[in-house]
């Protein structure tokens, strides 16, 4: 998270409530949880109260990042 900036999308396999705290603190656009990881209900509840969108995908983190890059979304090193 060292290079995260406000408005970025966080792509992670983590699903614990702490991810919402970090996303809110950094003012991220949202969190994309990969690998079909089940989201803890407490995490979803916290995300709703903090207005942090959480998206999910069955793809691996590697594939997800590659696909987003292929679609034209730059990484933090390209912006």
From first to last of its 79 residues, the chain has per-residue pLDDT tens of 788 999 999 999 999 999 999 999 999 999 999 999 999 999 999 999 999 999 999 999 999 999 999 999 887 776 5
The topology under which CATH files domain 9-70 is 3.40.1390
Domain spans of the chain, in order of start: 9-70
Residues 39-64: b if buried by 16+ CB within 10 A, e if exposed: beeebeebbeeeebebeebeeebeeb
pTM score above 0.85: yes
Can you say whether residue 32 is alpha, beta or left, with left for phi > 0 and alpha for psi between -120 and 50 degrees? beta
């Amino acid at each position: 998270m060292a290079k995260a900036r406000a408005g970025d999308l966080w792509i992670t396999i983590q699903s614990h409530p702490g991810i919402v705290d970090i996303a809110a603190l950094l003012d991220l656009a949202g969190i994309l949880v990969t690998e079909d990881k089940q989201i803890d209900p407490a995490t979803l509840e916290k995300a709703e109260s903090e207005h942090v969108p959480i998206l999910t995908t069955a793809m691996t983190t590697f594939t997800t990042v590659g696909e987003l890059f292929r679609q034209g979304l730059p990484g933090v090193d390209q912006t």
